[in-house]
Chains A and B, each alone.
Chain A
Amino acid sequence: MKTIEYTITDELGIHARPAGLLVKAAGKFQSDIKIASPKKEVDAKRIMGVMSMGAKQGDLLRLTITGADEDAAAEEMELFLKQNL
């Protein structure tokens, strides 16, 4: 299992576009990827779930990645968060 923590710096937080892109990035991997905001934990491969976290600027996100390709997934998801959020 791999864990990533990231604090959102984008002033708009996770709205529709970043939610779609995050789900697309997560969907490339077989591993189970969970993402948690201070409000709730959801499946990072489901758009509705990711949008429903209501993640804002300053919120700490915690990703938990479990599976055969967890190392590659963790690397890519961390890069995604830095570049997009």
Chain B
Amino acid sequence: MGGGSAAIEISAPLAGTVVPLDEVADPTFAQGILGKGAAIIPAEGRVTAPADGVIDVMFDTGHAVSMTTADGAEVLIHVGLDTVQLKGAHYTARCKAGDKVKKGDLLIEFDPAAIKAAGYDIVTPVIICNSDAYSAVEGAKPGSISAGGALLTLKK
């Protein structure tokens, strides 16, 4: 676990435009049912590890991945809304449960244009599933972000 009261930083898993979670058009995310976080409208089709840690769940459909960071944060990256319905089309998983990853390692590749063409919103929520473990989960300001930039700050 992170030492003392130091804040934990979760990086952007992809480049794009940050939007507040409550503006995401899916109540499961917008209402924080899966936890607090932020969302990114992707500008690229690669999801990379937002911190060092271990992959917990790589969904068979490739549309979402979750990991526990070395600091103990449980992060869910969900590429697009309702995209479980695509049943794997336009997504390629590049990791599996149990993999140890470093920040920046490739986790998922996807085709944003094809997913949009299929009628789906590609906004990608990045959620802290164990938000209750932190006094605050703060998102970056809305606007452009590069992959690896500071997206979320967690305070004990």
Contact = CB atoms under 8 A, between A and B. Distances in A.
Interface range on chain B (Cβ under 8 Å from partner): 20 to 34
A12 B123 CA distance: 21
B35 A12 contact: no
Contacts of B130: 46-48
A48 B84 contact: no
A78 to B, nearest CB: 20
B78 interface: yes
Interface range on chain A (Cβ under 8 Å from partner): 10 to 19
Given A21-B33, A52-B56, A16 B68 contact: no
A15 interface: yes
B78 A16 contact: yes
Contacts of B28: 16-17, 20-21
A47 B34 contact: yes
Interface in B42-79: 56-57, 59-61, 64, 66, 68, 74, 76, 78
